[in-house]
Amino acid sequence: QVQLVESGGGLVQAGGSLRLSCAASGRTLSMYGIGWFQQAPGKERKFVATITTSGVTTEYADSVKGRFIISRDNAKNTVYLQMNSLKPEDTAVYYCAARHGGSSLRARAYDYWGQGTQVTVSS
């Protein structure tokens, strides 16, 4: 079993940047495809980005393409989400999730979840 802890959230002005981290313990993260999801108050959890075990393949939600970058450092057991040109509509709790094997856009495909980190973008 793998435990995930997100960090790096906070309050930022529109147009600013944040880098979220997802640190794993318990198992080596290189075994897992990783996804980032966002959940705004009163809304369903939405896919943001995903990366394969090797880091070669990534996918993004249309709403974040060209602004967010997902990457991983398997030696550090950590996955990152670089968030640039932030908009107020990016405000949400961001979760990282892990699944055995490849990546997925579907939240239900993931086996393990972190506790989330709050990102608030002011206008």
Determine the pLDDT at residue 76.
94
Q: What is the pLDDT of residues 58-88, one digit of tens each?
A: 999 999 999 999 999 999 999 999 999 999 9
Report d(CA 48, CA 64) in Å as an integer.
7
Is residue 48 packed enough to be buried (19+ CB in 10 Å), middle (13-18) or exposed (0-12)? buried
Report d(CA 50, CA 70) in Å as an integer.
7
Report d(CA 28, CA 32) in Å as an integer.
8
Confidence category of residue 114, pLDDT binned at 50, 70, 90: very high
Higher pLDDT, 25 or 14: 14
Q: How many CA atoms lie within 13 A of 49 on its CB side?
A: 22
Determine the pLDDT at residue 29.
87
Taking alpha carbons only, the member of 97, 116, 101 closest to residue 30 is: 101
Determine the pLDDT at residue 1.
85
The answer to whether residue 27 scores a pLDDT higher than 90 is no
Mean pLDDT computed over 43-56: 95
Determine the pLDDT at residue 14.
98
